[in-house]
């Protein structure tokens, strides 16, 4: 068995499943926040939520694909393949976490700015 198959197949499966699961969870829980922020414009809140989900898919799948090729030249054993797989998944999760906290900061700024203008 080619050691790279140990990297490619699980990585692609986990990245895709994680992307879908996170997009749904963030959409479901984020919409509540957006509806609160855009209380007087619920259609805008829904539209922004959908646009954020599309952006999430694009960014996450883009990162996933970019990470797929990195480090494959060093893989000659099954152990090296497993180490590369865990490294790729770890980097992907860190990138997703950073993107999530960036979004939360932006939402906080939006909410804070909106609260100041409305009282």
Q: Give the pair of three-digit tokens for residue 85.
A: 């797989």
**Does pLDDT of 111 surpass 80?**
no
What integer is the mean pLDDT of 58-83?
Answer: 86
State percent of the chain over pLDDT 70. 96
Vertex 104, ends 102 and 109: CA angle to 5°? 95
Domain residue limits, the chain: 3-117
Quick one: pLDDT at residue 58?
92
Quick one: pLDDT at residue 17?
92
Vertex 19, ends 14 and 20: CA angle to 5°? 105
Contact 96, 21 (CB under 8 A): no
Does this model's pTM top 0.85? My answer is no
């Amino acid at each position: 068995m080619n050691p790279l198959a140990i990297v490619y197949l699980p990585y692609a499966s986990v990245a895709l499943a994680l992307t879908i699961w996170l997009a749904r969870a963030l959409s479901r829980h984020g919409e509540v926040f957006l509806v609160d922020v855009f209380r007087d414009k619920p259609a805008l809140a829904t539209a922004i939520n959908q646009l954020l989900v599309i952006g999430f898919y694009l960014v996450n799948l883009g990162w996933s694909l970019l990470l797929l090729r990195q480090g494959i030249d060093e893989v000659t054993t099954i152990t090296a393949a497993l180490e590369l797989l865990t490294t790729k998944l770890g980097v992907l999760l860190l990138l997703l976490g950073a993107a999530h906290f960036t979004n939360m900061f932006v939402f906080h700024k939006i909410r804070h700015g909106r609260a100041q203008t409305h009282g």
